[in-house]
């Protein structure tokens, strides 16, 4: 089975579930919980959960949150290569989830800013054939240079690269042209519909996908309750629906999808099977609080 390297953010998620609208400058009662998170770490966890030999590369602080983050990844079967930075705290994210399950996130990058290309070692490059990197690594100015250098090292060593664009609002902040430049040459990208529209300036699904296929080999779009769509440069297009589930928390659904998709794709290279596996993982994720599979 192929080994997958996942690079990027590892966080602790502080999740606030609220049943009424957020009351600015007042109170909105809710239920607050804490879970392991980080888009890249979530994807690694779901890939390992689905049976993929997975290595995660990231940076944590010298704190209990970092210790817990490493333990959570290892518990699910991820080979967690986490570099400790004693000068900064492990990354954290406040996730506000409304009664529909939709989430709003407030991230603090923390130690994720200390990611270094040196963390991608020769032994990993020699034993792997695919690298997945979180778009947050590219979108944050403190980790962008390291992320781009990691992609360069992986590509030069013959690894295929996949990228999750991660955030439409952050793409807008850094500039669409910049993000498209950073995505160019990737084997697979995993945009959601908002990220697809932002990257192309086009709200028509299939023509927007064709636009992105001018810079990458494969586009896999998550469509929330409508499932997902696969397209590649050979003009193969496939769309599958999502099952009806009782969604509680959408946090990490796209990360779960990417993990499920990659675990299947790297083993079978069958678009229909990989798309179905991604949808199944994403659907499982939204039925629980938090972004990780239950073990």
pLDDT digits (tens), the chain, 295 positions: 469 999 999 999 999 999 888 888 899 899 999 999 999 999 999 999 999 999 999 999 999 999 999 999 999 999 999 999 999 999 999 999 888 888 888 999 999 999 999 999 999 999 999 999 999 999 999 999 999 999 999 999 999 999 999 999 999 999 999 999 999 999 999 999 999 999 999 999 999 999 999 999 999 999 999 999 999 999 999 999 999 999 998 899 999 999 999 999 999 999 999 999 999 999 999 999 899 999 8
Q: Which domains does the chain have, with CATH numbers?
A: 3-22+32-285 (3.40.1190.20)
288, 248 Cβ separation under 8 angstroms = yes
The neighbour count for residue 217, using CB atoms within 10 Å, is 16
- Please, what sign has the CA dihedral across residues 14, 20, 22, 28? negative
Q: How far apart are CA 249 and CA 265, in angstroms?
A: 26
For residue 287, report the phi and psi dihedrals to the nearest 5 degrees. Answer: -90, 5
Q: Is 172 exposed, middle or buried (0-12, 13-18, 19+ CB in 10 A)?
A: exposed
Give this prediction's pTM.
Answer: 0.94
Sorted by sequence, the CB contacts under 8 Å of residue 268 that are 6+ apart come out as 274
CA dihedral 81, 252, 232, 265 (to 10 degrees): 50
Alpha helix segments (H runs only) across the chain: 39-49, 64-75, 122-127, 135-139, 144-156, 168-174, 176-183, 193-200, 205-212, 253-268, 271-285
- At 1 the pLDDT is 44
């Amino acid at each position: 089975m192929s080994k997958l390297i996942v690079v990027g953010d590892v966080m602790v998620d502080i999740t606030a579930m609220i049943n009424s609208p957020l009351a600015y400058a007042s109170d909105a009662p809710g239920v607050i919980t804490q879970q392991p998170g980080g888009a890249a770490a979530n994807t690694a966890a779901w890939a390992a959960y689905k049976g993929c030999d997975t290595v995660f590369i990231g940076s944590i602080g010298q704190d209990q949150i970092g210790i817990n983050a490493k333990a959570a990844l290892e518990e699910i079967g991820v080979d967690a290569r986490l570099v400790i930075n004693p000068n900064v705290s492990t990354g954290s994210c406040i996730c506000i989830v409304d009664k529909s399950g939709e989430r709003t996130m407030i991230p603090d990058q923390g130690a994720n800013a200390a990611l270094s290309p040196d963390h991608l070692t020769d032994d990993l490059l020699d034993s792997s054939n695919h690298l997945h990197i979180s778009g947050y690594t590219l979108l944050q100015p403190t980790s962008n240079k390291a992320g781009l250098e990691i992609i360069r090292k992986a590509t030069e060593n013959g690894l295929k690269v996949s990228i999750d664009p991660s955030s439409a609002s952050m793409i807008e902040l850094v500039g669409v042209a910049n993000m498209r430049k950073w995505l160019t040459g990737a084997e697979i990208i995993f945009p959601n519909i908002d990220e697809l529209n932002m990257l192309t300036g086009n709200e028509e699904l299939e023509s927007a996908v064709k636009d992105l296929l001018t810079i990458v080999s494969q586009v896999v779009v998550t469509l929330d309750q409508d499932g997902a769509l696969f397209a590649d440069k050979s003009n193969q297009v496939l769309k599958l629906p999502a099952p009806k589930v009782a969604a509680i928390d959408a946090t990490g659904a796209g990360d779960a999808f990417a993990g499920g998709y990659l675990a299947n794709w790297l083993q079978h290279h069958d678009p229909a099977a990989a798309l179905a596996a991604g949808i199944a993982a994403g659907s499982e994720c939204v039925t629980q609080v938090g972004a990780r599979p239950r073990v």
